[in-house]
Every structure is written in C-alpha cells, then in structure tokens.
Amino acid sequence: MSFVNTKSTKADEVLDKALQGERLSLEEGTILYQSDDLIKLGAAAKKIMQKHAPDNLGTFVINRNINYTNICDTYCRFCAFYRTAKDADSYVLSDEVIFDKIQETIDLGGTEILMQGGTNPNLPFSYYTDILKKIKARFDITMHSFSSAEILKMVEVSGLPLDEVIRQLREAGLDSLPGGGAEILDDRTRMRISKLKESWTKWMEVHDVAQRQGMNTTATMVIGFGESIEERLLHFIRVREQQDKTGRFTAFISWVYQPDNTALKGTRATAVEYLKNLAISRLMVDNVRNFQSSWVTMGHKIGQLAMEFGCNDMGSTMIEENVVSAAGAHNRSDKEQLIRLIRDAGRIPAQRDTQYNILEIF
C-alpha cells in the first residue's frame, strides 16, 4: 500500500519511504512531527510493526519492580522517589524483604525481576554482587536490573573500570539491563533536568559495554521535559546507530514524564503527543523488533490504542512499582486484566519472558 497520490504531502512521501523499507533522516522525521494526520502516522507505524511481528500476538511479561533503596545522590528534578540518607523515610530493603518479594512474584507466575533503586553512595559494590548471588542461589528468575546510573555509581564506589564492573555483575547473576535513565539522549535537556546524571554518551557506553559482553538491554525514552523535536529525533537516531552495531536492544519503550510531587513540575504531555511520538519512534528506529505500550503512565485505554500505533507488547503486569507512582501514575493490572486488554485490542494475548520467547498463548 502506498500513501503517495497526486495530492500527496511531504509527510505522505516520508511515510511511503518508510514503508518501502528505507531509513528516515532527521529532516524527514521533522516532517512527520509537523504532520497533524495522527491516524495516518499510526497506520504506517502499525504496518512497520507487522513487518517485525506478523503473528498478531500482543505479548506481556509478569515481573516485579523491586526498588531496593530510595537513597540517591543524583537529585533529578523530575523524580519524586529519591530521598537523601538523612530523610526519615529513606531505606535500603533487607535481603529477607527482597527474597519475600521475589517468592511472591514467582508464586504469581512471574519470570523477571527489575531491581532498580537510587544511586546510593553508601552501598559498596559487593552489595550488588552479593545480593545477585544470593538471589540466584535461591530462585530461578531472570534478573533484568540496574540502570546505567546505578552501574556508573558502582564504578565510582568500587574504583573498577566499567567493563570489569559489568563482568562481575554478569558472573554474579545479572542477566540483562533495563534502559532506565535514558530520559532524552541529548545533553541540553539532560543537564537541565538532572545536572548530576551521566551524559547521554555515558548512558550509551554502559549499554555498549554490556551488549559487547553478550547481554541484551532495552532502550527507553521519556518525553515531556520541554525537549525539542530535534532532541527527540537525535534520541531515535542514536539508539538506531547502536542497534546497527550490536543488535542487542530487545525493545524500545517510551513514556511520558509524570510531574506530580517533583521539583521540575510542569504538565503532562497529552495522549495525542504520546501516540504521535510513539508512531514516529517506530518509523525512525527501524531495527528494533519490539515496542512496548506504556499503559502504566497513559492508562489502559491509551495503552490499548498504542497497539495501533506500532506496539506489539503491553509491557508487564508490574506487580509493584514505586518510582513513577510517586510522581502521579497509579495504573495497575494483573495478568487476567492484561490478557483481557490485549484481546479487546484485537491481538492474541501471549505471556513472554525477558528475551521475548513466548511462554504461553491465551
């Protein structure tokens, strides 16, 4: 199907180019953002999705976010979760509490633990390797854990080089890295919202080192910080270029900044803005197979609609999550509800593991 006709617009020509399998430039991505035809953008993104995932499955994983500590010295202005060590409600979870949460996850059919916390300067590197070894000795569970910021904090407190830190984490039981902390992969907005966070090149370096050691990782993106269209497009292009090098990003996940209880404040991006950005990301990042819907930040209905804008995955049941909920996102789903949402969106529900292997079709 071609979108080009005698009355074609510049956006039609760009969409037709994407559908022909050609790669889009920053300038062509800008033309797509200038288009007001959301339906046409979504239709093209869905067609690209179907090239990667033609089976009409809507996948999901059963996992749990364990936020093992809220002590953090990065002080991101957009975060409502972090505390300093002096705050009365700061914490580091005991091993026993972490084990109980993992057992509960397994009892609910879970296969993945996303362990993620603040950049706690008081935890030695041995804390991370020890807890991974203890978890792996007790449970058959995939550890998809630690953001690039946490990894770089481990580099700082240990004095070890990055590749050695990742090697030791892998040996201790770390299976893959989430894309947390990517926010916007360009330093102008990045430094405005979080002066102490690593540059976008350091975020990418962590993923590059992990991927070159054989680990898969995911790529994330958060919009709504007041970033420019060019910065969003650079984000897509930088993920795409890294994927060309290693092919080890298993998924691309974008969501919308949640402003409640944050120092940055501001307003939420609209559902239209989210869906438009999602569709364009699917068209620009042409070499990542899986795109996740962000029903956690956008709600169930927009989460379902995202399946028409390029997503083939509904993410996770997210048994527990404390970071975006602290900033105002309180959507929750259990397994049965996710299956129903996927089926009502016209897809065949399927539970997957972290590496997108299908475990069960419903």
Residue set of the binding site for (3R)-3-methyl-D-ornithine: 147, 248, 294, 316
* Backbone angles phi and psi of 92, in degrees to 5: -130, 120
Binding residues are: 72, 76, 78-79, 147, 183, 248, 294, 316
Question: At which residue do the structure tokens 């029903």 appear?
Answer: 295
- Strand, coil or helix: what is 362? coil
Q: How many helices (H) and strands (E) does the chain have?
A: 15, 11
- Of 169, 98, 95, the residue nearest 128 (C-alpha): 169
Binding residues for S-adenosyl-L-methionine are: 78, 183
CA–CA distance, 332 with 340 (Å, rounded to integer): 14
Strands (DSSP E) found in the chain: 57-61, 63-66, 112-115, 142-143, 176-177, 216-223, 249-256, 290-292, 313-316, 348-352, 358-361
- Of 148, 142, 139, the residue nearest 357 (C-alpha): 142
Per-residue DSSP letters for 215-248?
-EEEEEEEE-SS--HHHHHHHHHHHHHHHHHH--
> Is the CB of residue 2 less than 8 Å from the CB of residue 16?
yes
Question: At which residue do the structure tokens 């800008």 appear?
Answer: 30
Amino acid at 99: F
CA–CA distance, 251 with 359 (Å, rounded to integer): 18
Tokens describing residue 149? 């910021």
Crossing angle of the two packed helices 271-284 and 229-246, in degrees rounded to 10: 40
Tokens describing residue 282? 């699917």
Binding residues for [4Fe-4S] cluster are: 72, 76, 79
Runs of H (alpha helix) within 95-221? 95-107, 125-138, 148-158, 162-172, 187-193, 200-212
